[in-house]
Amino acid sequence: MLRIFLLEINAIRLTKFTNGEIGIEFIWMDTENPPSDAIGWVSKKK
């Protein structure tokens, strides 16, 4: 968990592509200004 904190990773973005593959990105998300596709606890701050 500490390594994730040091890398400033606080979210995971999953993407499903048209060919059926699924992509995963480890990202930093601004909890005060979350992206429009945010779900879960952070989206409640909108």
Instruction: Give 21-33 pLDDT, tens digit per residue.
Output: 999 999 888 888 8
Number of domains in the chain: 1
> CB-based burial of residue 23 (10 Å sphere; 0-12 exposed, 13-18 middle, 19+ buried)?
exposed
Are 46 and 34 a contacting pair, CB within 8 Å?
yes
Q: Please give the residue that has the higher pLDDT: either 2 or 39.
A: 39
| Owning domain of residue 30 | 2-45
- Percent of the chain beyond pLDDT 90? 28
Are 23 and 17 a contacting pair, CB within 8 Å?
yes
Q: Whole-number mean pLDDT of the chain?
A: 83
- Give the residue among 4, 5, 13 at the shortest CA–CA distance from 39: 13
Q: In this model, does residue 12 exceed pLDDT 60?
A: yes
Q: What is the pTM of this model?
A: 0.62
Q: What pLDDT shows up at residue 25?
A: 93
